[in-house]
Amino acid sequence: MTQRTAQAVVLQAPRTLDWRRLALSEPGAQDVVVQTLFSGISTGTERLFYTGEMPSFPGMGYPLVPGYETVAQVIESGSAVSGLKNGDTVFVPGASCWGPVRGLFGGAGEQLVVPASRLVSLREDLQEQAVLLALAATAHHAINRDALPDLVVGHGTLGRLVARLTVALGGHPLVWEVNPARRAGSQGYRVSAPDDSKGQRFQTIVDVSGHAPSLNEWVAHLAPGGELVLAGFYTESLAMSFVPAFLREARLRVAAQWQPEDMLAVRCLVEEGKLSLEGLVTHTRPASEAAAAYTQAFDDEACLKMVLDWRNLQ
């Protein structure tokens, strides 16, 4: 049998991105083979792998195939797979199908071999916007529905999704953004500079900035008994003054990786029209231009979300 291969984005080493044809794992009875349509570039975790700043992390190492935001079409199913058929559109949260090349997160490839249980069925009309579902699920995981955020720190893609979800769930958040160029684009919530809220107190603050040195500032704005949720990714050690947190009897929560129930919840909200993904994919480039696309995604402040288009790959 001829070995199945596919073009893939390969991070050979920090800041060394390659475009290679790799061998794919042979699919098993419970696996599905998909043809990639779109994949997103993460400016959080993927940026840290790209720059080499990622702290020690399970599965970390080079070379690796990045990508955990893939929209694809089913082209082959194993004998034990049910509920999926050829032509179905699915979301793929990464894949481990590249043999000796690490699949962290493995979704930036022309074709993927994935266990059917990891796939999420999608409406076909969502197109490239559907790459945002993993980030929306991350935002959903950070939100406590019994104590919706009244302050979100950061108005990048994740911050916008936290704010939009909060509004969809009945909340009225304020968003802080230090970069004036990123204060536009709100949907049902206010965006301002942190200095505009001097003296104001918030019961629930969700920080997506990943800026560890500002932790004391966020704690200072908590109301008594308030909660600070860390939903960004922090490369520096976290430290804060004890007394301000003590006086407020503050609670600190770290929001980890989204769970399947978060993905299903946000898919439902999107399909019901309660959560909009409009305006967040700002740039799209052919997958063959991956090297330039990754650079732009990380360096261009106007780029909220970069998507690689795999549909017309030569």
**Using an 8 Å Cβ cutoff, are 143 and 162 in contact?**
yes
- Superfamily holding 136-254: NAD(P)-binding Rossmann-like Domain (3.40.50.720)
pTM as predicted: 0.94
Per-residue pLDDT tens for 93-152?
Answer: 999 999 989 877 899 999 999 999 999 999 988 999 999 999 999 999 999 999 999 999
Domain boundaries, the chain: 5-122+282-309, 136-254
For residue 214, give every residue at least 6 positions away whose Cβ sits within 8 Å of its Cβ, in sequence order, or none.
153, 207
Which pLDDT score, from 0 to 100, does residue 1 have? 64
Residue in 1, 260, 256, 258 with CA at minimum distance from that of residue 115: 260
Q: 3: how many CB neighbours lie within 10 A of its CB?
A: 8
Q: Is 244 exposed, middle or buried (0-12, 13-18, 19+ CB in 10 A)?
A: middle
Kindly state the tokens that stand for 268: 């439902």
Which pLDDT score, from 0 to 100, does residue 314 have? 64
Per-residue pLDDT tens for 247-298?
Answer: 999 999 999 889 999 999 999 999 999 999 999 999 999 999 999 999 999 9
The rounded distance, in Å, linking the Cα atoms of 123 and 187 is 23
Residue in 150, 281, 154 with CA at minimum distance from that of residue 226: 150
**Using an 8 Å Cβ cutoff, are 223 and 151 in contact?**
no
Mean pLDDT of the chain: 94
Q: Which residues pair with 34 in a beta bridge?
A: 74, 112
**Fold: same for 5-122+282-309 and 136-254:** no
- Distance of alpha carbon 152 from the chain centroid: 17
Per-residue pLDDT tens for 224-253?
Answer: 999 999 999 888 889 889 999 999 999 999
Which pLDDT score, from 0 to 100, does residue 49 have? 87
The rounded distance, in Å, linking the Cα atoms of 49 and 186 is 30
Which pLDDT score, from 0 to 100, does residue 170 have? 96
Per-residue pLDDT tens for 50-103?
Answer: 988 887 777 678 999 999 999 999 999 999 999 999 999 999 999 999 998 987
Per-residue pLDDT tens for 169-185?
Answer: 999 999 999 999 999 99
The rounded distance, in Å, linking the Cα atoms of 208 and 190 is 16
Q: For residue 290, how many C-alpha atoms fall within 13 Å in the half-sphere facing its CB? A: 27
Residue in 124, 55, 103 with CA at minimum distance from that of residue 311: 124
Q: CA Rg, the chain, in Å? A: 20
- Tokens 């509920």 map to which residue? 83
Please give the backbone phi and psi of residue 76, each rounded to the nearest 5 degrees, phi first.
-165, 140
CATH 3.30.200.20 applies to domain 5-122+282-309: no
Residue in 234, 249, 260, 287 with CA at minimum distance from that of residue 119: 260
